[in-house]
Amino acid sequence: MQQREEKQLESSLESIIQRVNDLKASLASMIFKIENEYESLNWPKFLDNYALISGQLISLSKVLSHEKCTNLRNLTVLPLMLSPERDEQLIQMTEGRITTFSHDLVPDYLRTKLEPLAEKKMLQLEHKAQGLQYDNAQKQIAAYQKVVTHVWDIVSKAREEWEVEASSRGNTQQNSSVADTHLLVAAVGMGKGLKMGPNPNGQPNSTSGGMMVAPGRPGGPPGQGPIPPSSQAMSMSKAPSAIKTNIKSAAQMHPYNR
């Protein structure tokens, strides 16, 4: 019976150690990526690593809760030998974390209870919780629920605004065409796509530098005929009568006459 229990304990420990090592490797890989590959690390990769670690934790908990696994709570770890000297085997087993198995380190590494200060603090909190009156406890619970509900409303409202904004961005109608913009720039800059039309006088339009000149008067919109020469001369000969000029010679304007 005792040998059977020992074999069961060894198999359980091997299975637990294997899963703990896998979990440790995944954690080390994730920490390495966060510290060294943070520039190329994106959110999907981070979630994949987190899902792997979560799955390994679930697998470890299943092994610990299996009926064939020895209940480790019923076992006690006792040191067989304490020495202040450096132990190479211990260093190899702990991957360099522990160098000696001395009297100072054993209480910390083999502790099965909380530290005395932490345990004292927990007892104080438990005693305070037990001594709290029912009405005061209900008031505190109601206050906490009010705060949590308020925070939840703020987060829900912000989430709705983000979703509406994202949906509006996705449904935005396109009011411009890149192809039409390129055609317009090519037509204005290089005359691409422009056709030569007949002149009102029956003569072909003149070209300058490979660009076609549209019929019309200079400075006016296309499609209008040229201005007659007589009307151009009349418009140029007329001067605005409302402007008066007073021109003085340089000798009169100079303050120092010689």
Tens-place pLDDT, residues 66-82: 888 878 878 888 888 88
The pair phi, psi for residue 83, each rounded to 5°, is -150, 135
Specify the pLDDT at position 150: 95
Identify the H or E element spanning 208.
strand 207-208
Q: CA-CA distance, 174 to 182, in Å (whole number)?
A: 16
DSSP 73-101: GG-----S--BSS--HHHHHHTTTS---B
DSSP 121-172: HHHHHHHHHHTS-HHHHHHHHHHHHHHHHHHHHHHHHHHHHHHHHHHHHHTP
Specify the pLDDT at position 237: 46
Q: Are 225 and 217 in contact (CB under 8 A)?
A: yes
For 114, the token pair is 């909380």
Q: Are 185 and 193 in contact (CB under 8 A)?
A: no
Specify the pLDDT at position 192: 82
Q: What is the pTM of this model?
A: 0.43
Specify the pLDDT at position 153: 94
Nearest-CA neighbor of 20 among 63, 50, 51, 49? 63
pLDDT per residue as tens, the chain (258 positions): 677 888 888 888 899 999 999 999 999 999 998 999 888 888 888 889 999 999 999 999 998 888 888 788 788 888 888 888 998 988 988 888 888 988 888 888 888 777 888 889 999 999 888 888 888 889 989 999 999 999 999 999 998 988 888 777 766 556 778 888 888 888 888 888 777 766 555 555 544 444 444 444 444 444 444 444 444 444 444 444 444 545 454 445 555 554
